[in-house]
Amino acid sequence: MTPADFTAWIAHMKETRGWSKAKCARMLGCGVNTIPLWIKSGAPPYIGLACAALAYGLPAWRKTSA
């Protein structure tokens, strides 16, 4: 996830959900000090996937009976 994409996600979550950077960090399972690093250098691919899931309001993955 590029720095621009991560920054845009932070802005989107603030605008649409009222989330602070601290709330974004909690929801991503990282520390608040990690957010500025990802804003500057970009985030790992798995964080990009987590950001997409959070933006679309998807719940955590759960096994379904088959």
Give the chain's mean pLDDT.
Answer: 96
pLDDT digits (tens, 9 = 90+) for 17-65: 999 999 999 999 999 999 999 999 999 999 999 999 999 999 988 888 7
Per-residue pLDDT at 3: 98
Backbone angles phi, psi at 13, to 5 degrees: -70, -35
Residue 57 is given by DSSP the state: T
pTM recorded for the entire structure:
0.90
Domain boundaries, the chain: 3-55
Q: Is it the case that residue 7 has pLDDT exceeding 90?
A: yes
Per-residue pLDDT at 65: 79
Burial per residue of 10-45, b for 16 or more beta-carbon CB atoms within 10 angstroms, e otherwise: beebeeeeebeeeebbeebebeeeebeebbeebbee
